[in-house]
Each structure stands twice: as structure tokens, then as C-alpha cells.
Amino acid sequence: MLNIIISASLITITILALCVSYLYYDVTNSIVNPSQEIPDTKLTILTILLVLPLIFLLVIVWAYTITNKLVGAFDRLLKELDEIIAGKEKRHLFVRKGDELAEEIIRRINLLIDRLP
């Protein structure tokens, strides 16, 4: 998940840098040569500069949600497995709402628990 966040941020920063440099070049050129108009593509670039950070924010929120589901399930599983290993109780693990990503590993752990003496 960290790779997704890093990739999204690098791509976003690269595109933003290219857009800003392109805008800077044309605006500087129009100041030096006042007879030259700023083309309509500038509106597109300005739109990109406004929309791209929003997309980046959505990717971060999505990655946070997915990692939170995985890490939350993992921490809970470790705690419950420690209790089972300590011999406090022999019971099956269950899938909480939102832990669907860990459902397969929980199923396999339950098979192992069934084989315990």
C-alpha cells in the first residue's frame, strides 16, 4: 500500500511540476512579447492543477481505508492467537464487519485450531 501512496504522490508532483513550468514559460513569454495571446490550453492546465490534488487526496484516503482494514484485522488476530497459544481457550476466530480482506487467512487459522489437541 505504501508503494501506491508513493507512486501516486510522485506522479502527482511530476504532473504538477510540468504544468506549472509550462504555465510559467507561456506567461513569461507573453510578458516579454505582449502581442502574443495566452492559449486556451492554459485553462486545461489550470483545471489539471486544481483536480490533480483532489485525485491525489482520494488515493490517499482509499489507501488509508484499505490499510486500516488490514492492520486492524491483523492486530486483532494476533491478540486472539496469543490467547489461544497461551491455552486460555480453544475457539474459532471470526470475521468482523470490514475484515473481509482477512477472511481467507481466518478460515485457514480456524482449520489449524480444529487440529489442535
Q: What is the pLDDT of residues 23-80, one digit of tens each?
A: 777 666 666 776 666 666 666 777 777 777 888 888 888 888 877 777 777 778 888 8
For residue 31, the model assigns a pLDDT of: 67
Q: What are the tens digits of pLDDT across the range 71-115?
A: 777 778 888 888 888 877 777 887 777 666 677 888 888 888 888
Domain regions of the chain by residue span: 2-115
Give the per-residue pLDDT at 75.
Answer: 79
What length is written for the chain? 117
Q: How far is CA 98 from CA 15, 35, 76, 101, 102, in A?
A: 34, 60, 13, 8, 9
